[in-house]
Structure 1
Amino acid sequence: MRRRTGVERIVLCFFVYLLVISADGADIKKLNLWPMPKSVSYGHGTLYLSNDFKLNTKGSKFFDASGILKDAFLRSIDVVRATHVIEANTSKIDASLVLKGIHIVVFSPSDELQHGIDESYHLHIPAQGNPLYAHLEAQTVYGAFHGLQTFSQVCHFDMKSRGIMVHQVPWTIVDQPRFSYRGLLIDTSRHYQPLPVIKKVIDSMTYAKLNVLHWHIVDTQSFPLEIPSYPKLWNGAYSMSERYTIADAVEIVSYAKKRGINVLAEIDVPGHAQSWGVGYPSLWPSADCKEPLDVSNEFTFKLIDGILSDFSKIFKYKFIHLGGDEVNTSCWQSTPHVRTWLRRHGMDGSKAYQYFVLRAQKIALSHGYEIINWEETFNNFGSKLSRKTVVHNWLGSGVAQQVVKAGLRCIVSNQDKWYLDHLDALWQDFYTNEPLTNITDPRQQALVLGGEVCAWGEHIDASDIEQTIWPRAAAAAERLWTSYEKLAKDPEQVRGRLSYFRCLLNQRGVAAAPLDGLGRAAPEEPGSCYLQ
């Protein structure tokens, strides 16, 4: 790998100096917030964060019976305080310089988490007052969560006072997301991810304001999830310990909700399902030809109905992902009993593929779900899809444009830009990938729900998942959150801010990899976090 020249080292050292004085509260022209809010104004004052920093919800219509807001408040303060041991005693500091707490007003009494909820917030941190309180207003408690995350980013440990300080006061931040769907896919079939690892991924998503965990639970290789209606399905797990119980799944959904994140569950049918037949061999067309699922067997659809019935009790997000990608129908055409069924119903492999996907869609609709399918379904029979279908683009560019022109909704994950397992995809490409490319009609733009970065698990397990996801996912997160006008045209303009955020992730215990080099590459040489 190329070594830096002397001139480059001087420039980078100066860059580190600017970042460090930013963290220590010197006069700053740069904002180290990620993702960048819609509107920001700030001053030059400095406040101390009280050792007894309090939450005040007087006047809020949200009564927090479950404690979800209080928990979010405590988490946001804990991550700020966790970076160093706090030695400052703010009770001995002039009260006019101490921020005593945050006053949060949430206007909706409901804590329902669903697609399209209002995630906006308005944060104000005054420079003076008696007593001094930050003020946060949001329509929903989940908007308040985002405001707390932003608040946590303006708080820094001060080496002189040995306490937490808030620089650049007064702050006024008005913020809302550009897209309602900002997703991250994890794959627990190719490699099992333990429950604590999934929870840590969820925590890290909140720091970048991602709001959908796409859980690609099962695939060809393994079926790790318990399905009460068909208990032999998880015979397809790698081992007895590499399984998720129903209680585990409920815990993941609950844990994510408490952090403002929806969980999108996926069963990928009819392909990518060989593991299903370990427990129920009749799902295979034959013992020698095990994929896709047997389209001629009524039990196949009865079992899908059972899975989705069980899912409906756990996964409350309005969408279910039914896959539908990479379906090779040769097994159907080479298996005598399936071939006979096809002939009797006047179908070839292509028609049977369509029949399977549409029938699975009807089952999902009967359980109250709207459907997400990978783009092959649209490419092959788009006009036949339910109008409640969201097409998930992954193969390449131009698909989203065709989908919304046809009046369907779309999620963008084109693999050349937003696949995290593609280690040669650089953060600059993640940042510049634009979901609305060549979509200019506002009505069609509204059909693009957002986008998703995908961490497919062939080479990802608990040992490397975090550094594979971060910081490249953060580059996409700003694209999905920040208003288009605020986005940098040249990604190099945000390098310093993203580097700062990557170091912030490290400080919070997230194993985010260096910016430079290929995905999840090790640091090139000794040096500051801000240079990696």
Structure 2
Amino acid sequence: MALNHLLLLLLLILLSLSITITSSSSPVTANHDSPPYLWPLPAEFTSGEETLSVDPSLSLTVAGNGGGSPIVRAAFDRYTGMIFKHAYNRASSLLTRIRFLSVVEYDITSLKIIVHSDSEELQLGVDESYSLMVSKKNDQSIVGAATIEANTVYGALRGLETFSQLCAFDYLTKSVQIYKAPWFIQDKPRFKYRGLLIDTSRHYLPIDVIKQIIESMSFAKLNVLHWHIVDEQSFPLETPTYPNLWKGAYSRWERYTVEDASEIVRFAKMRGINVMAELDVPGHAESWGTGYPDLWPSPSCREPLDVTKNFTFDVISGILTDMRKIFPFEFFHLGGDEVNTDCWKNTTHVKEWLQGRNFTSKDAYKYFVLRAQQIAISKNWTPVNWEETFSSFGKYLDPRTVVQNWLVSDICQKAVAKGFRCIFSNQGYWYLDHLDVPWDQVYNTEPLNGIHDPSQQKLVIGGEVCMWGETADTSVVLQTIWPRAAAAAERMWSTREAVSKGNITLTALPRLHYFRCLLNNRGVPAAPVDNWYARRPPSGPGSCYAQ
């Protein structure tokens, strides 16, 4: 109590002496060394020529039905931690605050976040639009402020990311500044689905690494983590209904409990990111038989799964029942790719089953996929399948099916012409394990190429870059994802006109360099942008902003 009285007395003395307070930065044109490069580029914005200082004790004011959401408040704490990590300690003592206030007046002292809806439901197409205004105090206002206004908490999150990118630490003044103010930004995404696939079957990724990937996704405004959890190599997920399945994990230490998976979903939601789980059937499923050998057609035919047994579909139903308790996102991925049915034709009981139904092996493949789809639909999921299902028997797919492209460049064009929704993931440019694909080829790849009918364009719900795990484990996964995933992220967020005009070495490359360095500064080991081969270290000494 005595200390509090002393601090209060000091504050009163300072006020009574009418100490002259000076600004830490008068309005000047920002120099080129610290440009406020934004990534992805907002839909609409204007800026000025002033430099504004930001109070390290930046306060949060909320308004609207959803302004008080824990999601908003947690995000504000995260972002202020990133913005002010070099600067004044926000948790420092009142005495230190008085010392700072005695010599500095800041242009931006508060951030107001207005969220109109109190709903925190996160599904496809949630409103992510926002407006952001940053200006200094003037004759009409004695308090400088920034204001984010959004219809949902998830729009507010996107606005916070943009605000954080406007803030730069000045090493000379040891303060956070915003260049080229005032800023007026109106922003919204071009596509509702902007995804990144991770593969935890080919290489196990620890929980903290997955969280770091999710955190980094939010910096680029990606909004769907496609979690390819299991494959032929390993089955790391706990499934209580069929507890022996995770015997197919690489080891007892490379597994995800139900609680682990639920925590990943919770962590992602706090950052406005949905998690779409994938259970790839009937191929890519050899690991299932480690715990339940009856799922294999025979010891020498370990995939595709045994199409003849109801037990196979009982297991699929049980897994989906367990996963529905974890994954609230409306989409569920059922795979369906790269199904080699040769061993079905060469396994006696499967061959007899085919003959008894007058089925070809292709018919059996269709039967399996369609039956799996109905199981997913019965659990209130919309099925997503890889493009082979559409190419092989598209007219039989449930009309709610979302087709994911990867092989053929015009598959989305064909799928939407038939009324299906499509996710663009062309392997030639958006498969991140293709290390010889540079950033500019990723950036220039357009999901709507060849689709001219506006009603069909709307059926392309977005795109996804895929980080397949055969050659990427914890040691390299983040530098393989970044910065090339950012190139696709801007393609999916920003307007088509903005990303398609001009020389991208002038309009995009400097900003991508800056964004890569922002990732590095936030602890994300993004590789150099200018690598001729992805994820390699720099070829020699140099600035982050020139590599």
Q: Does 1:114 align with 2:123?
A: yes
SS of residue paired to 2:448: coil
Q: Of the candidates 424, 430, 441, which is equivalent to residue 429 of structure 1?
A: 441
Q: Of the candidates 153, 158, 175, which is equivalent to residue 141 of structure 1?
A: 153
Which residue does 2:283 correspond to in 1? Answer: 271
Q: Of the candidates 358, 379, 383, which is equivalent to residue 391 of structure 2?
A: 379
Task: Provide Cα deviations, 1:171-193, integer angstroms capped at 9, x if missing partner.
Answer: 10000000000000000000000
The higher radius of gyration belongs to: 2
Aligned runs of 1:502-517 on 2, under 5 Å?
Answer: 502-516=516-530, 517=532
Determine if contact 2:225/2:274 at 8 Å carries over to the other structure.
Answer: yes
Which residue does 2:543 correspond to in 1? Answer: 528
Cα separation, 1, equivalents of 2:321 and 2:112: 42
Determine if contact 1:45/1:127 at 8 Å carries over to the other structure.
Answer: no
Which residue does 1:55 correspond to in 2? Answer: 60
Q: Of the candidates 159, 163, 166, which is equivalent to residue 151 of structure 1?
A: 163
- Residue 418 of structure 1 and its aligned partner are, at CA, apart by 0.1
Which moved further from structure 2: 163-172 or 397-406? 163-172
Which residue does 2:359 correspond to in 1? Answer: 347
Which residue does 2:7 correspond to in 1? Answer: none
Q: Does 1:391 align with 2:403?
A: yes
Aligned runs of 1:180-195 on 2, under 5 Å?
Answer: 180-195=192-207
Which moved further from structure 2: 310-319 or 23-32? 23-32
Cα separation, 1, equivalents of 2:428 and 2:460: 19
For 1:81, the aligned partner's letter is F
For 2:465, the aligned partner's letter is V
Determine if contact 2:107/2:136 at 8 Å carries over to the other structure.
Answer: no
- Residue 38 of structure 1 and its aligned partner are, at CA, apart by 0.4
Q: Of the candidates 419, 426, 436, which is equivalent to residue 414 of structure 1?
A: 426
- Residue 132 of structure 1 and its aligned partner are, at CA, apart by 1.4
Q: Does 1:470 align with 2:482?
A: yes
Which residue does 1:76 correspond to in 2? Answer: 79
Task: Provide Cα deviations, 1:48-92, integer angstroms capped at 9, x if missing partner.
Answer: 21121111003x111535x11100111111111225676996523
Q: Does 1:491 align with 2:496?
A: no
Q: For structure 1, which runs of at least 5 residues remain unmatched after alignment? A: 1-22
TM-score by length of 1: 0.93
Determine if contact 2:36/2:166 at 8 Å carries over to the other structure.
Answer: no
Which residue does 1:127 correspond to in 2? Answer: 136
Cα separation, 1, equivalents of 2:80 and 2:487: 25
Determine if contact 1:471/1:513 at 8 Å carries over to the other structure.
Answer: yes
Query: CA 1:121–1:383 in structure 2 vs 1: closer, same or farther (change >3 Å)?
Result: same
Q: Does 1:171 align with 2:183?
A: yes
Query: After TM superposition, what 4+ stretches of structure 1 lie above 6 angstroms from structure 2?
Result: 27-30, 85-89
SS of residue paired to 2:470: helix
Q: Of the candidates 14, 23, 26, which is equivalent to residue 31 of structure 2?
A: 26
SS of residue paired to 1:172: strand
Q: Does 1:518 align with 2:533?
A: yes
Q: For structure 2, which runs of at least 5 residues remain unmatched after alignment? A: 1-27, 90-95
- Residue 518 of structure 1 and its aligned partner are, at CA, apart by 1.0
Query: CA 1:456–1:179 in structure 2 vs 1: closer, same or farther (change >3 Å)?
Result: same
- Residue 31 of structure 1 and its aligned partner are, at CA, apart by 5.0
Determine if contact 2:386/2:403 at 8 Å carries over to the other structure.
Answer: yes
- Residue 160 of structure 1 and its aligned partner are, at CA, apart by 1.9
Query: CA 1:134–1:84 in structure 2 vs 1: closer, same or farther (change >3 Å)?
Result: closer
Which moved further from structure 2: 189-198 or 480-489? 480-489
TM-score by length of 2: 0.90
For 2:313, the aligned partner's letter is F
Task: Provide Cα deviations, 1:139-181, integer angstroms capped at 9, x if missing partner.
Answer: 1000000000000000011112111111211110000000000
Cα separation, 1, equivalents of 2:128 and 2:337: 32
Cα separation, 1, equivalents of 2:87 and 2:66: 33
Which residue does 2:13 correspond to in 1? Answer: none
Aligned length: 507
CA-based RMSD of the aligned residues comes to: 1.7
Cα separation, 2, equivalents of 1:376 and 1:392: 9
